[in-house]
């Protein structure tokens, strides 16, 4: 199986092969050495296929019917990527590719038996600010630059989460402060929203945002993004990109509100390293598409592998409810309760079980919960 690892000084050899992935600034940052990772090619003297990794993101490009190279990439996932990720307790990964011919190869060869989930992502590019965003900052809230002085406020809530985001595409906080920038919103002693530049490279950057759940739908993401965009333009950055999943309506709405426009769409695969979670998440995808029989199949396969989070039993009960299988529904609700799922109000108000509220089983379940 042929796959050559390039040294940093050789990354230029892979540039023509990786060109179809230009929409992903992470690939350019990797080639320039500003983002850590690895690049492999089928032949360093005349590369036709390439596999790259940077900070939990994986990329395939070039000729997709290169069987020997494809098997080498598969071996890399099987023997190194998965075991090492599990040892580090990493959750999951995303695999990007171009051209589209890689999709079938990924599913049938490279990630065969790994249960990858096929998805679509959108790419937006900044065009023009739409709001006087400074006037949107409500009383009691303040906009702060993400800098050393902010990070010295060790008692701030969510500071560790912010630092983790700063290191999602940089090897350290220090590297982020040196090469990237960002803004956050503070309310009282809590950081409630932030927007960070990502992969700053060659007059380009991308945007990463986060808003704490209790503070969403208040325009905070628009504020932080607008502040970041203004700074990026002042620093000579001419292309500001925004990636999100096609089903992420909140992210799409924020991008549009902040003055971005859609310029592209592309396929991707994502997955979980842990076998149990991989099966369970596939169940969630089926559930979202109202494929309830397929969903329970995935959930039960997950439970066969070993101990799973309590939400798996709960979701299995919900799926069986949609299949009108009362006995199995209550069996899995009971299993969730045994696993310490004790949110009585959430159970009472769940829309999935309304049709059985008048049954003896429901009364027995509520009595059991209320008794503790």
Instruction: Identify whether residues 253 and 333 lie together within a single domain.
Output: no
Number of independent structural domains in the chain: 3
Q: Are residues 252 and 298 in the same domain?
A: no
**What's the CATH code of the domain at 94?**
3.40.630
Residues 227 and 306 reside in one and the same domain:
no
Same domain as 130, residue 111 = no
User: Is there a single domain that holds both residue 284 and residue 255?
Assistant: no
Residue after which a domain boundary falls, among 93, 115, 137: 115
User: What does the pLDDT look like over 252-295, one tens digit per residue?
Assistant: 999 999 999 999 999 999 999 999 999 999 999 999 999 999 99
| Domain-located, residue 350 | yes
Same domain, 181 and 257: yes
Question: Quick one: 130 and 258 in the same domain?
Answer: yes
Domain annotation covers residue 269: no
Of 239, 262, 285, the one marking the end of a domain is 262
- The verdict on residue 121 lying in a domain is no
Determine the structural domain holding residue 304 and report its residue range: 274-370
Q: Are residues 139 and 228 part of one domain?
A: yes
User: Which residues in the chain show pLDDT less than 70?
Assistant: 1, 372
Statement to judge: residues 214 and 329 lie in one domain:
no
User: Are 21 and 79 part of one and the same domain?
Assistant: yes
End-of-domain residue from the set 197, 231, 262: 262
* CATH code of the domain covering residue 308: 1.25.40.10
Is residue 164 domain-resident? yes
pLDDT the model gives residue 77: 96
267, part of any domain: no
Same domain, 255 and 335: no
CATH label of the domain that carries residue 223: 3.40.630.30
Is position 156 within any domain? yes
Instruction: Choose among 58, 55, 11: nearest CA to 172.
Output: 55
Same structural domain, 142 and 253: yes
- Give pLDDT, residue 178: 92
pLDDT at 341: 85
Q: Give the other-Cβ count within 10 Å of 265's Cβ.
A: 11
Looking at the domain assignment, is residue 120 inside a domain?
no
Domain presence at residue 170 = yes
């Amino acid at each position: 199986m042929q796959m050559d690892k390039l040294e940093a000084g050789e990354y230029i050899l892979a540039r023509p092969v990786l060109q179809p992935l230009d929409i992903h600034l992470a690939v350019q940052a990797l080639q320039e050495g500003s983002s850590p990772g690895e690049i492999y090619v089928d032949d360093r003297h005349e590369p036709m296929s390439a596999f790259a990794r940077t900070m939990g993101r994986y990329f395939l490009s070039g000729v997709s019917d290169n069987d020997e190279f494809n098997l080498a990439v598969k071996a890399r996932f099987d023997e190194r990527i998965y075991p090492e990720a599990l040892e580090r307790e990493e959750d999951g990964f995303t695999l990007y590719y171009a051209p589209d011919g890689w999709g079938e190869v990924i599913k049938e060869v490279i990630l065969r038996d790994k249960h990858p989930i096929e998805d679509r992502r959108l790419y937006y590019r900044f065009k023009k600010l739409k709001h006087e965003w400074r006037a949107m900052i409500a009383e009691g809230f303040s906009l702060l630059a993400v800098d050393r002085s902010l990070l010295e406020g060790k008692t701030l809530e969510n500071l560790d989460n912010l630092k983790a985001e700063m290191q999602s595409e940089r090897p350290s906080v220090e590297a982020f402060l040196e090469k990237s920038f960002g803004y956050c919103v503070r309310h009282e002693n809590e950081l409630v929203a932030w927007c960070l530049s990502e992969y700053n490279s060659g007059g380009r950057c991308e945007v990463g945002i986060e808003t704490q759940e209790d503070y969403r739908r208040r325009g905070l993401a628009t504020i932080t993004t607008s502040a970041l965009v203004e700074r990026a333009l002042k620093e000579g950055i001419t292309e500001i990109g925004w990636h999100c999943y096609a089903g992420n309506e909140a992210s799409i709405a924020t991008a549009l509100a902040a003055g971005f426009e859609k310029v592209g769409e592309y396929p991707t695969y994502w997955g979980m390293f842990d076998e149990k979670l991989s099966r369970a998440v596939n169940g969630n995808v089926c559930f979202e598409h109202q494929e309830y029989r397929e969903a329970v199949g995935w959930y039960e396969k997950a439970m066969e592998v070993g101990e799973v989070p309590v939400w798996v039993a709960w979701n299995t009960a919900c799926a069986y409810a949609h299949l009108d299988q009362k006995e199995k529904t209550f069996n899995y609700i009971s299993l969730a309760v045994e696993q310490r799922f004790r949110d009585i109000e959430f159970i009472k108000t769940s829309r999935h079980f309304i049709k059985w509220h008048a049954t003896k089983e429901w009364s027995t379940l509520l009595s059991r919960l209320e008794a503790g």
